[in-house]
Amino acid sequence: MTPIRMPNSHRVYFSYYYKNVQYEGSSNVGAEDLGFYSINEILSNRYWVQVNCKDFNIKRVRWEYTVPDTLQFVPANGWNTIPYDLEKITK
């Protein structure tokens, strides 16, 4: 997912693609998710979003992983698991 805006330090609005269709969502974010952070840090990174393909209202941002800059291609159907051996973000 790509963060779009954070009107305050507790809520982030984002967009993501599934089957070449863009969706938007929002999530709460707090110190328990990323530790100490700035709004600019969140808005300058990409994160994984886990969605229920049968009900797109059920989604969860996987704050513990950022998407590396080297990742440019995302399959239309996404992944069943995170495709890289990424280290979790330490808080």
**Chain segment 7-50, per-residue pLDDT in tens:** 988 899 999 888 888 888 898 888 888 877 888 888 988 888 88
Does 85 map to a domain? no
How many CB atoms are closer than 10 A to CB 25?
18
Total domains present in the chain: 1
- 75: pLDDT strictly greater than 90: no
| 39 falls within a domain | yes
- The reported pLDDT for the residue numbered 3 is 92
Does residue 88 lie in a domain region? no
Per the structure, the complete domain to which residue 43 belongs is given by 2-66
Three-state DSSP class for 7? strand
Q: To which H or E segment does residue 30 belong?
A: none
Q: Does 84 reside within a domain?
A: no
At 6, the pLDDT band (50, 70, 90 cuts) reads: very high
Q: What is the pLDDT of residue 38?
A: 84
In a domain, 73, yes or no: no
Pair 48, 61: CB distance under 8 Å: yes
Q: Taking 60 as the threshold, does the pLDDT of residue 90 lie above it? A: no
How confident is the model at residue 12, as a pLDDT?
Answer: 92
Q: Specify the pLDDT at position 49.
A: 85
Q: What is the CA 82 to chain-centroid distance, rounded?
A: 12
Assign residue 26 a region: left if phi > 0, alpha if psi is -120 to 50, beta otherwise?
beta
Residue 74: inside a domain: no
